[in-house]
Structure 1
Amino acid sequence: MQNVVFSMKEYGHIEIHLKELMEERGVTRNALARATNTRFEVINKWYQGHVEKIDADVLARICYILDCKPGDIILYKVSDE
């Protein structure tokens, strides 16, 4: 095992791009919450990019409704340092 995690800046971070995808498709948070049978608060966290733990079931439902892939919503960004 060559890689070791020393600090958050060294291994990068995850970005959530649901807001941009929803705006492109003209879907509101309320509509997505109803269509995915998910609480508005959960969709709102995804929309704002404040997801602490990724629920694969919620992600699958969002992808199904928006006809997209997880990689369209979730992006891994490597640290610039």
Structure 2
Amino acid sequence: MRINELLAERGMSKNVVCKALNISRTNFNRYCRDEFQRIEASLICKLCTFLKCIVGDLIVYVDEDTHELKSPEI
């Protein structure tokens, strides 16, 4: 998840996002630190709408073995 990067780029605080989207700060911090098992599709949609981004801006795949960012194959 690239939440921290997107917030920094937009000059937004986590508190603003949590308040606007009615997300607990504790859970939001887990998403920001990539310490979660799953994330609801509805939350991804809300984040993309609020941050005015697409899913690919918000979520990137990192290969667990090489720690390299991977682009989707088209």
Aligned residue in 2 for 1:71: 56
Task: Detail structure 1 runs of 4+ shifted over 4 Å in the superposition.
Answer: none
Structure 2 partner of 1:5: none
CA distance in 2, matches of 1:40, 1:74: 19
Give the C-alpha shift of residue 77 in structure 1.
2.2
CA distance in 1, matches of 2:36, 2:53: 19
1:42 Cα deviation after fit? 1.8
Give structure 2 stretches of 5+ with no counterpart: 67-74
Question: Residue by residue, what CA displacement relative to the aligned partner does 1:5-60 show, whole Å, maximum 9, x if unpaired?
Answer: xxxxxxxxxxx111111111111111000111211112111122222202111111
Find the structure with the greater CA-based Rg.
1
Over the residues paired in the alignment, what is the CA RMSD in angstroms?
1.3
Query: Which of residues 23, 37, 58 in structure 1 aligns to 2:22?
Result: 37
SS of 2:35's equivalent in the other structure is: coil
Query: 2:17 & 2:27 partners in 1: Cα distance?
Result: 11
The structure with the largest strand share of the pair is 1
Q: Which has the higher contact order (CA 8 A, sep 6+)?
A: 1
